[in-house]
Amino acid sequence: MLHTTRQRLISTAMQLFHEKGYTSTSVADLLKAADVSSGSLYNFFPGKRELLLAVLEVYRNRMRETLLDPAWRGVSDPIEKIFRLLETYREMLVETDGIYACPVGSLALELHAPDPTIRDQLGAYFTAWTDAIHGCLIEAGSRLRVSVDRLGLAEFVLTTMEGAVMQARTFRDVGYFDRAVDHLRNYFDLLLYDRAALPAHVRQALPGR
């Protein structure tokens, strides 16, 4: 029961922080929505700040289970995995009529001067996200030009996604997201080798031939 109550508090906080924002969500809101007493809350968390830290930890720990694995199911090409992940965000924008916002991205924007521990947790989530994209870029191997900074490119993909979601949400128009991803795709094309122009023996040595 204690474990269930703690999980209910975290799940409720995830929902309310996403819908209302961290600052606008009061402890009373959390208690009412979770249907728990204040004693139950403080039995697990000294305050709302500590509940936020638990929420951020859950987002990070469940990223593969709830975001990456579903998006990448049936996709083997590492470059296409990146764009399939972006397509997942597009689908969420369409399903919510442009209301969707990345929950951790929204918290990062709202908490513009968080304490170091919260900032570290926000950073850990974004690092895990870019690590996943970085892994795809490493897997792409020699398909990408040797000069490509793969980690920097992974961070750029995150920047594109967050910015595209923000604009699509602001204007309630998924076209902003589509145009950003189209430009990212064009940029990737510039970073990939022109396989047709390479000698046959080089093409044969490249993965994905």
Model confidence, pTM:
0.88
The vertex-179 CA angle with 152 and 183, nearest 5°, equals 40
Which residues, in sequence order, are CB contacts of 79 under 8 Å at separation 6+?
Answer: 136, 140, 143, 188, 192
Give CATH 1.10.10.60 domain extents, the chain. Answer: 2-60
Could you give the residue range(s) of every CATH 1.10.357.10 domain in the chain? 63-205
CB 64 within 8 A of CB 121: no
Whole-number Å distance between alpha carbons of 184 and 172: 21
CB of 168 closer than 8 Å to CB of 93: yes
pLDDT at 146: 87
To 10 degrees, what angle do helices 116-139 and 103-110 make?
Answer: 140
Q: Does domain 2-60 have CATH number 1.10.10.60?
A: yes
Q: Could you give the angle at which helices 78-95 and 116-139 cross, rounded to 10 degrees?
A: 130
pLDDT tens, position by position, 149-187: 999 999 999 999 999 999 999 999 999 999 999 999 999
DSSP three-state, residue 16 = helix
Where b means 16+ CB within 10 Å and e means fewer, 148-158 reads eebeebbbebb
Identify the CA nearest to 129 among candidates 178, 80, 186, 61: 61
- Give me the percent of the chain exceeding a pLDDT of 90: 84
Q: pLDDT tens for residues 119-133?
A: 999 999 999 999 999
| C-alpha span between 57 and 109 (Å, rounded) | 18
pLDDT at residue 142 greater than cutoff 90: no
CATH homologous superfamily for the domain 63-205: Tetracycline Repressor, domain 2 (1.10.357.10)
